[in-house]
Structure 1
Amino acid sequence: MADNPDNKPVETAVDIEIGDKNEESVEEVEVEEGGGTNQTGSGDFARQQVGESAFASVQNLNSGDITPQVMSNPQVLAALQDRLDGLVGKGSGYIDSLPKVVKRRIKALKNLQVKYTKTEAKFYEEVHELECKYASLYQTLYEKRKEVVTGAIEPTDSDCEWASSEDEEEDEEKELLADDLKKKVTIEEKKEEDGKEEERPNGIPEFWLTIFKNVDTLSQMVQEHDEPILIHLEDIQVKFSEPGQTMGFTLEYHFSPNDYFTNKVLTKHYTMRSEPDETDPFSFEGPEIVSCTGCTIDWKKGKNVTVKVIKKKQKHKGRGTTRTVTKTVQNDSFFNFFNPPQVPDEGEMDEDTELVLASDFEIGHFFRERIIPKAVLYFTGEAIEDEDEYEEEGEEEVILNRKSRDAEGEEGDEEDENDPDYDPSKERPQECKQQ
C-alpha cells in the first residue's frame, strides 16, 4: 500500500466483477488509520459504502454467478441482508401491474371461488345429516358401555375375549409350570384360596373421573372438591340437532343420585354455523361453533362448589371500629363449564371473554370427537400414549434444532479465535442484573 503520511482514512470500496469463477472477484481496499495498523472499514460508514456500491452490482448477478469470495465477505453479506430485510412483507406488485382485462378475469375466478365455498357449505350440511344418521347406531354401543361401567349388566365370557399382551405372557407361564409342582399344593392352601373372596366392585369405579384425570386439558379444570361429585358421573352422551334445525350438538352428563345437586342430567348445547361469512367468504373452512349455552344446576344447600364465601375485616375511618363482611365470589370448578359467557348479539367481545369462549369451544369439540367415541382408550391411557408419541417427535426435532444452533455457535467461536483481528479483551462482559 502507498504511504499515507497524513494518516487520512481511505474509503472502503468493493468491486465485483462478472467473469470466470476462478478469478478473484472481490477487491477490498483496506483502511489505514493512525498507528500504521491496516484494518477494514467498520461501522455505519463502511456499511453505507458497501451498501451503495456492492449491492448495486450483486443484485444483477444470478445466484450461480456469485463467487465464494463474494459470499464470504461479511460486508457484502451485511449489505444484502439489509436490503432483503427491507423487502419482508412487501408484495411483488405483480397483480397491480396486470392489464385491466386480466384483472377482470381474476374477478371472475373469485366469483367461481365463492360458488365453490357455498357448495362446500352444502357438503358439510349433508355430512352433518349423515353424522346424525350414524349417531343412532353409535348410541346402541354407548348404552351398552354405560351398562357395563355402572354395573347394570355383567359382560359375557365372549364379550370379554381380548388377546392382550399380558394374557399371552400369563398363558406362557402357565405352560411352563410342571405337573409335579401343581401336585405339591396342599389341601390347606386350597381351602385358604377358596375361603378368600375376590373383591367385586360394581361396574368400573371412577371410570369418567379417571378419564378426566388422564387428559391434561380436563385435569386442569377438575379441582379437588369436584372429584367427589364426578365419582357419580355415569355417562357422557352427544345428541345432534335434527335435520331442518340449526346445526349443533348437545353434550349430556348423566349423574347418579348424589349429595350435591338434584339434576340427573347436566347439558351443554353448542350452536354451529356452516355457511360462509358474506363479508369474508374465503375464510370459510367448514362448520364452526358460534355460541354455547349451559344449564342451571340445582345445588343442594351449602353444596355449591362453584362459589365460595370469603370474610373480610373492614375498619371504620372515623370511629376506628372494625366489622366482618362476608362476600360470595366465584370458585374454580369444573362445573363452571355449565355456565359459559354469552356471545353478544351486537358489538365486539372483550379479549378475556373471547379467550374463554375459544377454549370452551375446543373442549366441546374434544368431548364430541375424542372423549365420547374413545372413552375406554382414554381410561386406559392408550389414546394418550398415541398422542404423546407425536408430541415427542416434535420435541425431538426441537432438541435437534437446538443442538444444531449450539454447534453453529461453537463454530462461530472457533472462527473468532482464528481471526487475526479478533481481540477477546474487547468483548463486553455480560452484565449481572440483580433483582
Structure 2
Amino acid sequence: MGTVERSGDDHTSEMESAEEEEVVGSGELAQHLLKSGVTRNEMIAAITNRLHAEAMASLPPNVRRRIRALRTLQKEFVDIEAKFYSEVHALECKYEKLYKPLYEKRALIVNGTYEPNDDECLNPWRDDTEEEELARAVQNAAITEGEEKKDDKAIEPPMDPNVKGIPDFWYNIFRNVSMLSEMMQEHDEPILKCLQDIKVQMHEDPISFTLEFYFAPNEYFTNTVLTKEYLMKCKPDEESPLEFEGPEIYSCKGCEINWNAGKNVTVKTIKKKQKHKSRGSVRTVTKSVQADSFFNFFNPPTLPEDPNSTVASDVQALLTADFEIGHYIRERVVSRAVLLYTGEGLEDDDDDDYEEEEDSYSDEDSGTEEVSDVED
C-alpha cells in the first residue's frame, strides 16, 4: 500500500509542480487585473482564489491528493442535494393547489366582494383588546377635533365604517416593505392603488414560476394583468459543480404594458441643446429616456442566448437585484401579505430603515441648531 501511495504521490507531485509554476504572485495578479479593466469585486474574488490556490499548493502532495478525493465525495453530495431540491420544487407545485382557494378568498375580502362572518374574524391566538381600544381612542379624538373645529371646512370627514374591502391593501404593502418602496416612485402610487392582487403560478417543467399582478381598470394602461416569469435551474454547473447552492434563477421575462397615450410613467422627455460644428447655430432636441419607476420591473435586461457569452457587469448587477426581488415577492409578499400590511411580518431590514430615517432627521436638526447658535 505504501508503494502505491508513493507512486501516486510522485505522479501528483509532477502535476502540482506544473501548476505551481503557473501561480502568479498576488501583487502581479492585481496589476494584471487592473490593466484588464475588471471590476473591484471581480478583482478581489480573483485574488482570493489565487491565495487559496497558493495555500493548497503549499500542502504536502499526499494531502493534496486526499483533498481531491474529498472533492469527489462533495460532488456526489451535490448530486443528491440537487435531486432533493428538485423534489422540493415538485412539492411546492403540489401544495400551491392547496393554497390557491385561500389566496382567492383573501382577494375577495380585500376587494370587498366577500364579507367574512364573525367566526372567520376570530383570532383566538391573539388578544385584540389593545387594538380595539386604540381604534376607539382614534375615533373619539377625531370626533372631539371635529367638534372643536366644526366651522373649519378643511377638516376631512370621518372614515366610513362601511368602507368596501381593505382600501389600498397592496399599495400599503409596497410602502411598508423597503425592497418594494425603494422601487416605487411618486408617479407610480396612483397606479399601485389600483393593484387588486398578486398571484404566483408554479411550473414543474421547465422549473419556473410566474408572478401575476392584477389591476383594476385605470387611466394608465389597458392591461388587467401584468406578468413576470422567472426560469430556474436546479442542477450543478458542469464546469463548477461544487458551487451549487440550490435552485437558482438564471433568466426572467417580463411583459408588454399597453400604456395609454401620455400615461407611460417609465419614460420621460428631456430637452438638449445641440450646437452645429461649422455654422455655430443652436437647436433644441427633444429625447425620450427611461424614467425611474416600479413598472420597469416588467422590462428587465435581456440575456444573450449563448450561456457562455459574457454579460456586462452593470447588466448582471441589475439582473441579480431583479432575481432577488422576484424571489422575495414569491416567498414573502404573496404568502404573508396581511402581516406585511399590518407590519407584524416586516423583517429587521424594514424596521432598520425607519430607525435610520429618524437618526438622519435628528442629525439634521442638531446641525440646524448649531448654525443658529453661531448666528446668534
TM-score by shorter chain over 0.5: yes
Q: How does 1:120-139 map to 2 (within 5 A)?
A: 120-139=81-100
Q: Does 1:289 align with 2:249?
A: yes
Shift of 1:387: 5.7
| Cα-to-partner distance string for 1:336-388 (whole Å, 9 max, x where unaligned) | 00000112233111110010000000001100111111001111111116666
Identity level (%): 54
* Structure 2 match to 1:311: 271
Q: How does 1:137-216 map to 2 (within 5 A)?
A: 137-162=98-123, 164-167=126-129, 198-216=160-178
Shift of 1:217: 1.2
For 2:171 and 2:160, the matched residues in 1 are separated by 24
5+ long unaligned stretches in structure 1:
1-87, 175-195, 396-435
Say if 1:338 and 1:385 are closer, same or farther in 2 by CA, change over 3 A: closer
Equivalent residue in structure 2 for 1:117, among 60, 66, 78: 78
| Cα-to-partner distance string for 1:182-227 (whole Å, 9 max, x where unaligned) | xxxxxxxxxxxxxx99442211111111111111111110000001
Equivalent residue in structure 2 for 1:336, among 283, 296, 309: 296
For 1:91 and 1:365, the matched residues in 2 are separated by 37
| Cα-to-partner distance string for 1:315-346 (whole Å, 9 max, x where unaligned) | 44544443321111111100000000112233
* Structure 1 match to 2:181: 219
Q: Does 1:351 align with 2:313?
A: yes
Counterpart AA for 1:96: P
Equivalent residue in structure 1 for 2:235, among 275, 283, 300: 275
For 1:142 and 1:330, the matched residues in 2 are separated by 35
Q: Which has the higher contact order (CA 8 A, sep 6+)?
A: 2
For 2:350 and 2:272, the matched residues in 1 are separated by 46
Say if 1:126 and 1:169 are closer, same or farther in 2 by CA, change over 3 A: closer
Q: Does 1:369 align with 2:331?
A: yes
Counterpart AA for 2:89: H
* Structure 2 match to 1:98: 62
8 Å Cα contact 2:178-2:350 kept in structure 1: no
Say if 1:166 and 1:283 are closer, same or farther in 2 by CA, change over 3 A: same
8 Å Cα contact 2:176-2:350 kept in structure 1: no
Q: Secondary structure of 1:365's match?
A: helix
For 1:248 and 1:148, the matched residues in 2 are separated by 29
Shift of 1:115: 2.2
Deviates more, 1:154-163 or 1:217-226: 154-163
Say if 1:229 and 1:107 are closer, same or farther in 2 by CA, change over 3 A: same
Q: Secondary structure of 1:290's match?
A: strand
For 1:233 and 1:331, the matched residues in 2 are separated by 21
Counterpart AA for 1:209: Y
Q: Secondary structure of 2:120's match?
A: coil
| Cα-to-partner distance string for 1:284-309 (whole Å, 9 max, x where unaligned) | 11110001000011111111111011
Shift of 1:165: 4.1
Q: Secondary structure of 1:134's match?
A: helix
Over the residues paired in the alignment, what is the CA RMSD in angstroms? 2.7
Say if 1:348 and 1:197 are closer, same or farther in 2 by CA, change over 3 A: closer
Shift of 1:313: 3.0
Say if 1:355 and 1:319 are closer, same or farther in 2 by CA, change over 3 A: same
For 2:298 and 2:123, the matched residues in 1 are separated by 38
Say if 1:217 and 1:385 are closer, same or farther in 2 by CA, change over 3 A: closer
Counterpart AA for 2:55: G
Say if 1:208 and 1:277 are closer, same or farther in 2 by CA, change over 3 A: same
Q: Does 1:265 align with 2:229?
A: no
| Cα-to-partner distance string for 1:247-272 (whole Å, 9 max, x where unaligned) | 11000001111111111110000000
Q: Return the TM-score normalized by structure 2.
A: 0.68
For 2:324 and 2:108, the matched residues in 1 are separated by 29
Counterpart AA for 2:183: M
For 1:265 and 1:124, the matched residues in 2 are separated by 30
For 1:206 and 1:296, the matched residues in 2 are separated by 25
Shift of 1:169: 7.5
Larger radius of gyration: 1
More helix by share: 2
For 1:169 and 1:229, the matched residues in 2 are separated by 30
* Structure 2 match to 1:327: 287
Say if 1:388 and 1:262 are closer, same or farther in 2 by CA, change over 3 A: closer
For 1:354 and 1:318, the matched residues in 2 are separated by 42
Counterpart AA for 1:381: G
Say if 1:111 and 1:229 are closer, same or farther in 2 by CA, change over 3 A: same
5+ long unaligned stretches in structure 2:
1-50, 137-157, 357-376
Counterpart AA for 2:112: G
8 Å Cα contact 2:271-2:285 kept in structure 1: yes
| Cα-to-partner distance string for 1:47-103 (whole Å, 9 max, x where unaligned) | xxxxxxxxxxxxxxxxxxxxxxxxxxxxxxxxxxxxxxxxx865275643327xx82
